[in-house]
């Protein structure tokens, strides 16, 4: 048994070591099943590997399966790549029956390789009932890091830990990528609000001006939102 466990760990290491890029727990704009999550996406020269896990929330009768029609899709060109194979999960109509609440099933879906430079993907189960989908999965490592950092900043801000929240928001906007999401504008927005609310209008002005100078395509929305709160310089 120990030898088998060692072999599994070694095979997982090999799988990771040959990947061109691995995105762990990527951010997702929209998903249908909150109990189904992406653990990682591994990009290889010959394939795209998506590892997921689903948690059973039913006392009895819980089951899960993967349809034979599943594809990943680029968000801009909508080019589809159909599934090649699945590991660790039955293909519908066969099902995996859960035995208890909280039981998790991890499984892997394998697709063809995608071109380099793709920053977002959709993952779609193309079926008739209870189909899962993940829309706008972010593959860019910096975007994922910044989204997680922003989320932490919001939690700290809500807990009135403004100093720690400022540290998170300011790190998010240190470098803005070419395809930014909403977290960059909201980070500027929150920095201005925190400093303005604390009476430090000089620093609030600094961050307001940084927002104005930023390359964000939606910066005017955040500028107008601040002005509606009576914050302008």
| Tens digits of residue pLDDT in 140-153 | 989 999 999 999 99
80 CB-contact burial (10 Å; exposed 0-12 / middle 13-18 / buried 19+)? middle
Q: How confident is the model at residue 88 (pLDDT cuts 50, 70, 90)?
A: very high
Torsion, CA 12, CA 17, CA 22, CA 25, rounded to 10 = 30
In a domain, 37, yes or no: yes
**Residue 160 and residue 217 in one domain:** yes
In a domain, 5, yes or no: no
Q: Smallest Cα–Cα separation from 50: which of 108, 104, 120?
A: 108
* C-alpha–C-alpha distance, residues 50 and 54, integer Å: 13
- Give CA separation, 54 vs 88, 92, 106, 107, 129, in Å: 12, 16, 7, 9, 17
CATH number of the domain where residue 45 is located: 2.60.40
The 10s digit of each residue's pLDDT in 3-42 is 655 655 555 555 555 667 899 999 999 999 999 999 999 9
Q: How confident is the model at residue 130 (pLDDT cuts 50, 70, 90)?
A: confident
Total number of domains in the chain = 2
pLDDT confidence of residue 98: 95
**Number of other residues whose CB lies within 10 A of the CB of residue 88:** 14
pLDDT confidence of residue 61: 85
For 67-71, 127-131, 133-137, 207-211, which range has the lowest pLDDT when averaged over its residues?
127-131
Write phi, then psi, for 184 (nearest 5 degrees).
-75, -45
The 10s digit of each residue's pLDDT in 210-227 is 999 999 999 999 999 999
Residues of the domain holding 42: 18-139
CATH number of the domain where residue 215 is located: 1.25.40
Q: How confident is the model at residue 128 (pLDDT cuts 50, 70, 90)?
A: confident
């Amino acid at each position: 048994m120990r030898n088998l466990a060692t072999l599994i760990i070694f095979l997982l290491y090999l799988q990771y070591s040959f990947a061109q890029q691995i995105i762990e727990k990527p951010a997702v704009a929209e998903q249908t099943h909150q109990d189904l999550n992406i653990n990682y996406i591994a990009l290889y020269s010959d394939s795209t590997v998506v590892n997921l896990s689903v948690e059973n929330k039913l006392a009895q009768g819980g089951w899960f399966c993967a349809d034979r029609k599943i594809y990943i899709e680029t968000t801009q060109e909508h080019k589809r790549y159909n599934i090649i194979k699945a590991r660790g999960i039955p293909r519908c109509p066969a099902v995996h029956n859960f035995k208890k609440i909280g039981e998790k099933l991890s499984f892997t879906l394998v697709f063809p390789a995608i071109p380099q430079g793709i920053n977002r993907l959709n993952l779609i189960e193309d079926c008739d009932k209870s189909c899962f989908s993940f829309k706008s999965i972010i593959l860019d490592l910096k975007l994922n890091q910044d989204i997680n950092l922003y989320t932490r900043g919001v939690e700290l801000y809500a807990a009135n830990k403004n100093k720690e929240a400022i540290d998170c928001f300011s790190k998010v906007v240190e470098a803005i990528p070419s395809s930014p999401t909403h977290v960059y504008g909201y980070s500027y927005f929150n920095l201005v609000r925190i400093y303005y609310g604390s009476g430090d209008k000089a620093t609030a002005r600094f961050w307001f001006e940084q927002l104005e100078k930023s390359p964000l395509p939606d910066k005017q929305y955040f500028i107008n939102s601040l002005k509606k709160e009576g914050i302008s310089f």
